[in-house]
Amino acid sequence: MSAGATAGRRGWRASLAPLGHRNYALVWGAGLISNVGTWMETVAVGDLVAVRTDQAGWTALVAAAGFLPMGLLGPIGGALADRLDRRRLLVAMTSVQMLAAAALAVLQWLHVAHAEARAMVLAKSVRTSPDRRSPPMATTKESG
C-alpha cells in the first residue's frame, strides 16, 4: 500500500475521532436526527399543502417560508448570541419550535384547505425561524 493511501486512511479515521467522546457523539447524533426530522417535515408540509389546495403557489409559499428566515434572521441570531444568555435562548427557541410543530400537526387534522394553507405558511415560517437563529448560539455556547 502506498504512503498516500495510508495517510488518506488515517485522515478519514481522524475525522471520526471526535465521535469517540460520548457527550460529543450524543449531541452529534441528536443533531443528525433533528435535521433529518426537519427535512422530512419540510417535504411533508409542502406535499400536504399541494394535495390539500391543488395549487403549486401555496407549495412555493411554504418552501419560501421555510428558507426566508435564514436570510432575514441570521444576522439577528448572531447579535442575540453575543448579547443574551445562550442556554436560555436555546431553550426558548426549542420551545417555540416544539409549539410550531404541534401547531402544524393540529392544522393537518383540521382540513380547512386555503385557511389551513395560510396558517401552515405562517407556522412553517415560525417553526424554521428558531432554526436559523440557533446555530450562532449553539456554536458559541461553550464560550459564554
**Per-residue model confidence as pLDDT tens digits over 76-125:** 777 877 888 878 877 888 888 888 888 878 877 777 555 677 777 777 77
Alpha-carbon distance of 107 to 116, in angstroms, equals: 6
Element (H, E) at 32: helix 22-53
Q: What angle do CA 101, 116, 34 make, to 5 degrees?
A: 20
Note whether residue 128 is domain-resident. yes
* Tally of domains within the chain: 1
Residues contacting 27, CB < 8 A, separation 6+: none
Per-residue pLDDT at 143: 43
pTM of the prediction?
A: 0.63
Note whether residue 30 is domain-resident. no
| pLDDT, tens only, 66-86 | 777 777 777 777 787 788 887
Per-residue pLDDT at 137: 47
Note whether residue 59 is domain-resident. yes
pLDDT band at 39; cut points 50, 70, 90: confident
Element (H, E) at 67: helix 56-83
Contact assessment for residue 54 and residue 116, using Cβ atoms and an 8 Å cutoff: no
| pLDDT, tens only, 45-54 | 888 888 888 8
Per-residue pLDDT at 61: 86
Question: What residue numbers bound the domain in which 101 lies?
Answer: 36-140
The yes-or-no verdict on residue 135 having pLDDT over 60 is: no
- Of the candidates 103, 95, 96, the one whose C-alpha atom is nearest the C-alpha of residue 120 is 103
Note whether residue 5 is domain-resident. no
In the structure grid, which three cell numbers stand for residue 31, read together? Answer: 443533531
The yes-or-no verdict on residue 12 having pLDDT over 50 is: yes
In the structure grid, which three cell numbers stand for residue 140, read together? Answer: 458559541
Count the helices and strands in the chain (H runs, E runs): 5, 0
Note whether residue 49 is domain-resident. yes
Note whether residue 98 is domain-resident. yes
